Amino acid sequence: MKLINKKILITGATSGIGLALVEKLYQNNDIYIIAINEHKIKELQSRFPDVVAYQADFSNLIALQDVVNVINHEIQSLDLLINNAAVQYTPMFTDNDFFVKSITDEITTNFTSICYLCYFLLPLLNQQHSAIILNVNSGLAIAPKSTSAIYCATKAALNSFSQSLRYQLNNTQVQVLQAFLPLVDTAMTEGRGSSKMSVDKVSKAIIKGIEQTIIDHDIGKVKLLRFIDRLLPSLAKKIMREN
Ligand SMILES: NC(=O)c1ccc[n+]([C@@H]2O[C@H](COP(=O)([O-])OP(=O)(O)OC[C@H]3O[C@@H](n4cnc5c(N)ncnc54)[C@H](OP(=O)(O)O)[C@@H]3O)[C@@H](O)[C@H]2O)c1
């Protein structure tokens, strides 16, 4: 899919990789975003006045559904849905002050909301001769690390969901793609890890993957991780465990 004159909805577009995608796609496409923070939405719209923005907290499915109803009313069709928004909590289950509600918040934001968006926006995607859902995934879907257990599990669930949805939509014009990202230099990974890939490189790679319809697109070091996981799954697990 050539990303010119397309209607593109990006979630979590007010920072990190989502924002970099807006920066690269804005010039030649109609951009719609769903984001949580009103202030950041205003900031983004001051840079990109034609962006149509909707506000929603993805951990609140009722609020999300309200927004999706509005979108269905206001937009007649959609070429590309980029499910990018996510959160990563790091506390361990063994921590004394572990916040139990964070479990459902993280699962709802990273996984359930995506299922909702795919379901409720499918009619808009089906209006086009060819449309794409791109789910932003992680190398942690292949092998988890010890911290961020829920985050890793949501990404593994997203991988499974994306594959099943792909089968279900096989006879439609909607394709389901995934981009598996390595460690990227964004707010999500602040103070963690080293040799992170830049947002600029990652967003360019994501766009290339969409334009070339790469079904499961391994970006940067994820290519090597996938290779190791095929040959020696126990080594892949060991590498990722303390990542
Ligand atoms: N960074 C990495 O190393 C890495 C690696 C693999 C995969 N990924 C994936 O890449 C995607 C983008 O992450 P990023 O690295 O760009 O992180 P980021 O800069 O923290 O961006 C995450 C986006 O999600 C939004 N968001 C968080 N909680 C939300 C909620 N409850 N409701 C609505 N929006 C919410 C954030 O809103 P605000 O703008 O208001 O903060 C932000 O726009 C995610 O799917 C992430 O899992 C990242």
DSSP assignment of 92-132: -TT-TT--THHHHHHHIIIIIHHHHHHHHHHHHHTTSSSEE
Residue 154 lies inside a defined structural domain of this protein: yes
pLDDT over 90 (residue 193): no
Answer yes or no: is 181 within a domain. Answer: yes
Residue pair 169/192 in contact (Cβ under 8 Å)? The answer is no
What CATH number is associated with residue 173? Answer: 3.40.50.720
151 in catalytic set: yes
The verdict on residue 1 lying in a domain is no
With b for 16 or more beta-carbon neighbours within 10 A and e for fewer, the 143-154 pattern comes to bbbebbbbbbbb
**Residue 13: what pLDDT?**
98
The domain containing residue 108 runs over which residues? 7-241
pLDDT single digits (tens) 71-88: 999 999 999 999 999 999
50 domain-assigned: yes
- pLDDT tens digit string along 121-144? 999 999 999 999 999 999 999 999
Q: Could you tell me the pLDDT band of residue 194, with boundaries at 50, 70 and 90?
A: confident
The answer to whether residue 222 sits within a structural domain is yes
Query: Is ligand 1 within 6 A of the CB of residue 184?
Result: yes
Dihedral sign computed on CA atoms, order 113, 127, 17, 241: positive
Q: Is 164 in the pocket of ligand 1 (CB under 6 A)?
A: no
For residue 142, being part of any structural domain is answered with yes
Examine residue 2 and state whether it is found in any structural domain, yes or no: no
Q: What's the gap in Å between 78 CA and the centre of ligand 1?
A: 22
Share of the chain above pLDDT 70, in %: 100
DSSP state at residue 140: G
Q: How many residues are there in the chain?
A: 243
- Angstrom distance (rounded) from CA 80 to CA 124: 10
Catalytic residue among 54, 89, 116, 151: 151
Count how many domains the chain has.
Answer: 1
CB atoms within 10 A of CB 51: 18
160-172 tens-digit pLDDT: 999 999 999 999 9
Pocket test for ligand 1, best of 57, 134, 158, 184 (most atoms within 8 A of CB): 184
Q: Is 197's C-beta closer than 6 angstroms to any atom of ligand 1?
A: no
- Ramachandran angles phi, psi of 5, nearest 5°: 55, 40
Q: Does residue 132 sit within a domain?
A: yes
**Residue among 221, 149, 229 at smallest CA distance from 180:** 221
